[in-house]
Amino acid sequence: MTTTEPSTGNLLSLQSHILSEESRYPGAAGDFTWIVSAISLAGKAIAHQVRRARLEGVLGEQGATNVQGESQQRMDVIANAILMRCLGSRASIAVVASEEDDQPTILRKGTDGGKYCVLFDPLDGSSTLDTNGAVGTIFSILRNDPLVESAEATVCQVGRRQVAAGYILYGPSTAFVITTGAGVDLFELDPFIGSFILVKRSLRVPSARKVYSVNEAYTSSFPAGYRNYLAWAHANNYSSRYIGSLVADTHRILLNGGVFIYPPTVSHPDGKLRLLYEANPIAMIMEQAGGKSFCGATPTLDVNPRKLHQRVPLVLGSADEVDAVMRHL
C-alpha cells in the first residue's frame, strides 16, 4: 500500500484537517467544516450506541419497514435519528436525505443560507450487528441549487458533482474516511481524547490483488457476464472475501486491493445498492484513491439519477481488477 504519512508526526484532528483544506479557498466561510464536524459528532455517538447495542437491548428488527420495503433494524432508526439531530442545527444545510426516509427533509431554503445537501445511509450492514459484525455510515455532500424548488430534484445530482463523500466504519476501531476531491484521507477515533486523528493521508488502492468480494450464493441468478468472470477468477486462483457490509468490504479493498461486485439478479434486475446513498459516495472515494467504479457499463459517477431511491448494480475496487470484471461484461 502506498500512502503518505503525516510528515511531522504531530497529531492532526479531522476538524483541523478540514479547516486547513478549506483555507485553500479564498472566501470560504467555514460552513463545510461545520458540516463535517456534525457528521463526526454523529459518528462518535453512533459508535457508542453500536458498542452498547446488546447491553441496551436494541438489536434486532424494529417491526417496521423502510421506503424500500426492507425490515428496519432498531439501530437503523437510532443511527438515523442521531444524524438528523446532529445535522439539523447546521445553518448551511438546506436538505438532508436518508436512505431510511421516504422523502428528503428541507431544513432551510437557499435564500435562507442553505448551501449544501447531505445524503446518508445511517447504518449500512445493520443486520450483521446481531453477530457483532462491522457496520458503517456512508455520506455524500452536494451543493444546493437555490433555483430548484423540489428537495428530491436538488439531491438527484450526478455523482461527479459531489463536494465530498466518506464513510465511518464501526469495527475494532472507529475509522473515518473522507475525500473532498483532493485525495482520500483516513482518520481513526481516539476514544481517550474523543477526536478523529489523521493516520493515513492520500490513500491509494493497491493494484493487481487477486481477491473478489461477492455473495456467490446468488450466482445462478447473475447475468452471464458475471458468471463468466467468476469462472475465470476461479481458474486464475482468486480468493473470495465477502463481509456483507458495503462499508467493511470497501474499507478492506481500499487498504488491501481487490474488487467488490454486486450484480443485478433475477429478483433485482436493476441492482440493489442505492445510487445516491451508497454507490456515488463510495465511487468518489475509490476514484480519488486511484480505483474505478461502474454501474453496468457506465462509470458510477456519470450515472444520471432518475429518482431518489434508485438502485444500481455495482463493480468497484482496484483499477485493473475492475477492468478484469468489465472485460467479461
State the amino acid at position 149 in one-letter form: E
Judgement on whether residues 168 and 307 belong to the same structural domain of the protein: no
Task: Return the CATH number at 118.
Answer: 3.30.540.10
Judgement on whether residues 188 and 256 belong to the same structural domain of the protein: no
pLDDT tens, residue order, the chain (329 aa): 334 444 456 789 998 888 877 777 665 667 888 999 999 999 999 999 999 888 888 887 766 666 666 667 889 999 999 999 999 988 899 999 999 999 999 998 887 888 999 999 999 988 888 888 899 999 999 999 888 878 999 999 999 999 999 999 999 999 999 999 999 999 999 999 999 999 999 999 998 789 999 999 999 999 999 999 999 999 999 999 999 899 999 999 999 999 999 999 999 999 999 999 999 999 999 999 999 999 999 999 999 999 999 999 999 999 999 999 999 99
State the amino acid at position 248 in one-letter form: A
Judgement on whether residues 48 and 108 belong to the same structural domain of the protein: yes
pTM above 0.75, yes or no: yes
Q: Strands of 116-124's sheet, edge to edge?
A: 105-106, 93-98, 116-124, 135-143, 162-170, 174-179, 184-190, 195-200
Judgement on whether residues 45 and 172 belong to the same structural domain of the protein: yes
Judgement on whether residues 247 and 281 belong to the same structural domain of the protein: yes
Of 175, 200, 225, which one is at a domain's C-terminal end?
200
DSSP 130-144: GGT--EEEEEEEEE-
Judgement on whether residues 67 and 98 belong to the same structural domain of the protein: yes
Enumerate the H helices of 117-171 as residue ranges.
151-155
Closest CA to 257 of 324, 210, 201, 327: 210
Judgement on whether residues 101 and 194 belong to the same structural domain of the protein: yes
Give how many domains the chain has, as a whole number. Answer: 2
Q: All 3 cell numbers of residue 73?
A: 433494524
Judgement on whether residues 217 and 194 belong to the same structural domain of the protein: no
CA distance 223 to 137: 30
What domain range includes position 315? Answer: 211-328
Enumerate the H helices of the chain as residue ranges.
14-22, 31-51, 53-56, 74-88, 151-155, 224-235, 246-256, 280-288, 319-328
State the SS3 of 188-227. Answer: EEECCCCEEEEEEECCCCCCCCCEEECCHHHHHHCCHHHH
Is the residue at 235 inside a domain?
Answer: yes
Is the residue at 206 inside a domain?
Answer: no
Judgement on whether residues 62 and 180 belong to the same structural domain of the protein: yes
Judgement on whether residues 91 and 235 belong to the same structural domain of the protein: no
- Those residues with Cβ within 8 angstroms of residue 52's Cβ, 6 or more apart along the chain or in another chain: none
CA distances from 26 to 23, 32, 90, 165 (A): 7, 14, 21, 22
